Amino acid sequence: MSNNGVNGREDEINRKRRHTSDEITAFRELEEDEDNELLSLSLSFRPSRGRRISSPGNSHSQQPSLTLPSPPRPPISQSVQQSSMSIMQNLLRKPPPQLTLQPSPSHQIYIPSLSMSSQPVVYHEPEPQPAPRQTRTRRNPTQAPGEGKSDTIPAPYPWSTNRRATVHNLEYLLSKRISTISGEVQCKRCEKQYEMEYYLRERFDAVATYLLEKKSGMHERAPSIWMNPVLPTCRFCEQENSAKPVISKKREINWLFLLLGQSIGCCTLDQLKYFCKHTRNHRTGAKDRILYLAYLTLCKQLVPSGPFNC
């Protein structure tokens, strides 16, 4: 199968993105501080995230009827499995939105090497999304600077709330037919930047199961697999452990994407402290402690009634 056409299109997109990225970088120096954004308010361009090729079709209406089979799971203890299942079942009393995603032939399937996350990852071509992204807005430059940080911000992603470092719960997301979570990654080797996405339910199930199974042995510290995440293989140069999540401004960190990729550990200590600060976890300590809290807190945001208490 020839991918020349696809690659050509992607290269084109990447060139455009890089161009935009350069422009952003030039201005980003002006907004080193996450609250110093007023300087960049008059920018007329949008980050590449907003660019999307639209097509008349809606992905839901194009769903094939084939139901996604249950992905293979690593062996887990019965109690954990039941616990995890009950979370899902309680949450999903209503019929779940169709989970009938069928990768098109142009998709590549990535099977992570992590045993606890053997869920498929779909590399995403620029095509319609289940849910439209919200247009991101910046504060009006004519507004006077506030006296302090506001608690609310424009939601940076459809799966984010307008509270910093906070995502919608799973029930809400599935009710809105948000079944995949996308994010930007950049290869550490060839440096190409592109978008990939995870299936929300499958990946969350894997993370939650792993957390609940291992929690008692973690002693409130993130295990090494979270401290040093195994990254996806680059879609372009096929370098293993190389597609690193792009993390820019703190308020725009794609926390749910990082959770599903079990790559929150790519954040710096400072970024993790930002998360804890805005999610009422006023704890200090080494990175492994704060990282553990970040995983736990995000799982709790997704399933507020679940067993994810600190």
Closer Cβ to Zn ion, 184 or 288, answer by number: 184
Q: Does 187 bind Zn ion (CB under 5 A)?
A: yes
Closer Cβ to Zn ion, 179 or 242, answer by number: 242
- The minimum distance between CB 68 and Zn ion, in angstroms, equals 28
Question: 43, 155, 190, 266: which one contacts Zn ion (CB under 5 A)?
Answer: 190
Closer Cβ to Zn ion, 9 or 219, answer by number: 9
Closer Cβ to Zn ion, 18 or 300, answer by number: 18
- Class of residue 117 by CB neighbours under 10 A (exposed 0-12, middle 13-18, buried 19+): buried
| Sheet with 193-199, side-by-side order of all strands | 109-110, 121-123, 193-199, 180-187, 243-245
- The minimum distance between CB 175 and Zn ion, in angstroms, equals 37
Closer Cβ to Zn ion, 194 or 198, answer by number: 194
The residue count for binding Zn ion (CB under 5 A) is 7
Q: Does 110 bind Zn ion (CB under 5 A)?
A: no
Amino acid identity of residue 98, one-letter, is Q
How many Å apart are CA 35 and CA 12, to the nearest integer?
33
Considering only 58-66, 91-99, 143-151, 234-242, which stretch makes contact with Zn ion by CB under 5 A? 234-242
DSSP state of 96: P
Question: 194, 226, 236, 308: which one contacts Zn ion (CB under 5 A)?
Answer: 236
**Which residues make Cβ contacts (< 8 Å) with residue 22, sequence separation at least 6?**
none
Give me the sign of the Cα torsion angle 283, 288, 195, 106.
negative
* Reduced 3-state DSSP string for 150-192: CCECCCCCCCECCECCCECCHHHHHHCCCCEEEEEEEECCCCC
Q: Does 189 bind Zn ion (CB under 5 A)?
A: yes
Q: Does 170 bind Zn ion (CB under 5 A)?
A: no
Amino acid identity of residue 154, one-letter, is P
- The minimum distance between CB 13 and Zn ion, in angstroms, equals 15
E-strand stretches of 94-151? 109-110, 121-123
Using an 8 Å Cβ cutoff, are 193 and 21 in contact?
yes
Binding mask 74-103 for Zn ion (x = CB under 5 A): ------------------------------
**Which residues make Cβ contacts (< 8 Å) with residue 115, sequence separation at least 6?**
74
- Half-sphere exposure of 267 toward its Cβ, with a 13 Å CA cutoff? 32
Closer Cβ to Zn ion, 107 or 189, answer by number: 189
Considering only 83-91, 144-152, 226-234, 261-269, which stretch makes contact with Zn ion by CB under 5 A? 226-234
Closer Cβ to Zn ion, 223 or 245, answer by number: 245
Q: Does 196 bind Zn ion (CB under 5 A)?
A: no
- The minimum distance between CB 240 and Zn ion, in angstroms, equals 10
Closer Cβ to Zn ion, 157 or 236, answer by number: 236
Question: 207, 211, 234, 258: which one contacts Zn ion (CB under 5 A)?
Answer: 234
- The minimum distance between CB 194 and Zn ion, in angstroms, equals 9
Q: Which helix (H) or strand (E) holds 294?
A: helix 287-302
Using an 8 Å Cβ cutoff, are 232 and 195 in contact?
no
User: Which parts of 129-148 interact with Zn ion (CB under 5 A)?
Assistant: none
Closer Cβ to Zn ion, 161 or 186, answer by number: 186
- The residues of the shown chain that bind Zn ion, judged by CB under 5 A, are 187, 189-190, 234, 236-237, 239
